[in-house]
Structure 1
């Protein structure tokens, strides 16, 4: 069981605007008419952060990323720091492959989050005090009434070595992979017959944050291995590279020239999404 009181990256620390930015949205199409989501479409994205910044990602407020031979450097020195980058464009089903080394440290969390405007979500997360596992998770429409969707997966030395972590997401299955090996699958039938299956266009967010801070709920700190000892700072995660493929509403790579995704109604169903 997960003890996280909220989804993937930090609304638990809502006192920090920087942390909340990792999962915040500007307009929820379940409740209002929102701008279209710009699509990656047939545009292939391959970011090598060892060579510097990648135009597909934007640094969010409070984040000034540095780059070196290990990639994008996400460093935490103090409690309310939460370095985060996000794509401006979205995938509507697709695949990401990211090479990273998670940050060590009690209470420190490294995350890769796929998130839609209506708060569907598919995650990878690493707890800095657990150097033997990665965690997968998903959410639907921002529903955090239960926390029984997470799973743990063995991986060797995730805070001290690089691994390739993959999410392939289609209308039929979500597949989480580590170094090319599938460690978990989720079908719509396993997600309340599809009712809670992530199914709306998502952007990709990369972030590192403090789950063991003084403002953290006890359950959040417990999940993250305890309260953070900042005398052990800095805590550093390295994001080396990422590839992004937008399936553009299909279940496989598509060559269609899609420019944007529009919510056709307020149902939040994949069938309501219009590709233009």
Structure 2
């Protein structure tokens, strides 16, 4: 049974702050108030080679210190409240993300690639440090964590000891999770409550490692993360080698027109309500 008490994006934020909660969070939720427009990638693609150092497409979040070497950006966990995280300052409105990474090893240690919107739509890749045979895919809609039956597990060889390419391609018609170019899962709007639970609003990309098996973590989180982390075995290091980000700007393929920002036209959270400038 897939059991996870909070979304990946919420867990990373809460781990970084030393808090534990069952609530997701957003700086401004456009479903309840008027929020600033989301800056768009638009026709400008991001191609980051972390073996060469930091990438301007990403912002380093508070409390994060990264090292860069031939393996890429090293996201290191040394103690319980460590949660090194970076996030894009711009958003995609449907699109494709390809990332080459080696997940962090260690019981209770989690590596996450998260696409998340202001109204808490979310699409994830996740790796448990003690599970060296699988990757996990997941999605959330509008911050709904009332059930935890949306996750799936996918075989992959030695994810904490070798690099693989993980892809999310997200269109109005389908979400496709891929490993090394091979599709391992698809989701259509019809499979997500007829589209009502289908992620469909502009998203940032967040990369991070965090402690799921912390002493202050919820029991369900600890169980999902494989148990309590043993910090006598620290440091635990995940490597992000490279990432490619392509914005589809509301369509089912790459945008070739200039788009500066995405605006929520109402409080429905529907893709049809989003307009671009």
Counterpart contact for 1:83–1:208, Cα < 8 Å: yes
Displacement, 1:238? 0.1
TM-score of the superposed pair, with normalisation by structure 1:
0.97
Tell me, yes or no, if structure 1 residue 7 matches structure 2 residue 7. yes
In the other structure, the counterpart of 1:53 is: 54
Displacement, 1:234? 0.2
State how many pairs are aligned: 274
Once the two structures are superposed, residues 192-212 of structure 1 have per-residue CA deviations (whole angstroms, 9 ceiling, x without a partner) of 000000000000000100000
Once the two structures are superposed, residues 100-137 of structure 1 have per-residue CA deviations (whole angstroms, 9 ceiling, x without a partner) of 00000000000000000000000000000000000000
Structure 1 stretches of 4+ with a deviation exceeding 6 A read none
Aligned ranges 1:111-126 → 2 under 5 Å: 111-126=112-127
Q: Which segments of 5 or more consecutive residues in structure 1 lack a partner in the other structure?
A: none
In 2, Cα distance between the equivalents of 1:13 and 1:36? 22
Once the two structures are superposed, residues 185-239 of structure 1 have per-residue CA deviations (whole angstroms, 9 ceiling, x without a partner) of 0000000000000000000000100000000111111111100100000000000
Aligned ranges 1:76-225 → 2 under 5 Å: 76-225=77-226
Counterpart contact for 2:12–2:209, Cα < 8 Å: no
Displacement, 1:9? 4.0
RMSD over aligned CA atoms reads: 1.4
Counterpart contact for 1:18–1:62, Cα < 8 Å: no
Displacement, 1:12? 8.7
Displacement, 1:258? 0.6
Counterpart contact for 1:10–1:209, Cα < 8 Å: no
Greater mean alpha carbon deviation, residues 95-104 or residues 251-260:
251-260
Tell me, yes or no, if structure 1 residue 274 matches structure 2 residue 270. no
Displacement, 1:19? 7.3
Change (3 A) 1:187 1:240: same
Change (3 A) 1:247 1:16: closer
Q: Which segments of 5 or more consecutive residues in structure 2 lack a partner in the other structure?
A: none
TM-score of the superposed pair, with normalisation by structure 2:
0.96
Displacement, 1:271? 0.1
In 1, Cα distance between the equivalents of 2:9 and 2:186? 22
